Amino acid sequence: MGRALATDKVFVVEISTAKIPFIKFGDGLNGAIPADSLPVLATYYVTNGSDGNVAADTITSQSPQIAITGVSQITATNLVAASGGSPVENLNQLRNSIPLSIRTLDRAVTREDYRDLAELSPGVAHAAVSHTCGKNVDLYIAPMGGGIAQQPLLDSVTDNLNKKKTLTTQLAVYPAGVSDVLVEATVTAKFRKNKAITLTQIQDALIAEYNYDKSYINRPIRVSDVIALIDNLSYVDYLKLDKLALIPYARPTGHTKPLLWNKTVRNPLTKDHWTIQVENSGIRVLRNGIFVEHVGYGNQYYDPFGDINFTVYNSGNYVQGDEWRFTTYPKNEDIEVDDNTVPVMDYADLNITVIEQV
């Protein structure tokens, strides 16, 4: 309220250390003082924060109930996981956001400005800019709490940056994806160190370093970093990294429908770009722009070059021409992520074998 006039009807919300919000009105110098006995009406929303980021197919109730003439039964579900819910900013997040707000000066001119302003937008955890030259800027955002950014968040960020960009710049905001990092390793524990405790120490260390909050869009995954992180743990004697690979995210192209699929990354030796297109009763598979096979829904595509196996299931709302794209990267090499996803590690994708020395 530092810029408010004495007659301006303004307020700010302050949060106490106990996380209780307080409404603060003007003092007669910066902002007007409400008249005595004047009723104050407030409209507000209560959210579940990060607890509201529920998995797909878990929102099944209707409130209020939907009624359509001639329809006897209506069911509801969420095809994708809810995202964007977050708690109050913690100290580490404030350390990151406060310098960003000073650096940008509230104007989007450079690539860094677009990224910084997007990450300062409510609900945004990570942002990345794809821009080579010209007036078109593509911005990818990942929501607080993980998952895929939904249209309301994309619209909010677009509106915010359109007010701060140069007039001639054309801005497009897209959701970033999340790619899981697969780690398979054989680890020998130090003499008389417990196998179960060693395994937990390794898993916790990897998750702590490569979780969603600490990672970022297009973060490179270095073989040496992963090996060093495990090798330097107090219970670890030595290790062999058996497999390091990225499990791809299938990005919708020209639509927002998630791809329902199971996939297994095998032994990719080269970087390859894949396209899945809906056609008739199944899908067309293209590898580096070249058609390789037509596969029916529920049937497995088995890549003869050893990159990946996957099975696509019919969601019921696919239409002819729907398309998804993803990238596979060589295993056991440094992964230079460039598909605008956030690479993260999850316990389910850490296959660690621990050998005891007794």
Predicted confidence (pLDDT) per residue in 163-189, tens digit = 888 777 889 999 999 999 999 999 999
Task: Retrieve residue 309's tokens.
Answer: 């196996």
Round to whole Å and give the CA distance between 124 and 68.
36
* Boundaries of every domain in the chain: 1-44, 91-175, 180-246+346-357, 250-338
Helix runs in 210-346, H state only? 223-231
Q: What is the pLDDT of residue 102?
A: 64
pLDDT tens per residue, range 147-162: 899 999 999 999 999 9
Q: Give the closest residue to 86 by CA, choosing from 119, 58, 123.
A: 123
pLDDT tens per residue, range 215-264: 999 999 999 999 999 999 999 999 999 999 999 999 999 999 999 999 99
User: What does the pLDDT average to over 83-95?
Assistant: 66
At the topology level, CATH places domain 91-175 in GMP Synthetase; Chain A, domain 3 (3.30.300)
Helix runs in 215-290, H state only? 223-231
How many other CB atoms are there within 10 angstroms of residue 181's CB atom? Answer: 22
Average pLDDT, the chain: 88
Residue positions counted in the chain:
358
Confidence band, pLDDT 50/70/90 cuts, at residue 205: very high
Q: What is the pLDDT of residue 44?
A: 81
Confidence band, pLDDT 50/70/90 cuts, at residue 138: very high
Q: What is the pLDDT of residue 90?
A: 64
Residue 98 has pLDDT above 70, yes or no: no
Q: Are 17 and 24 in contact (CB under 8 A)?
A: no
pTM above 0.85, yes or no: no
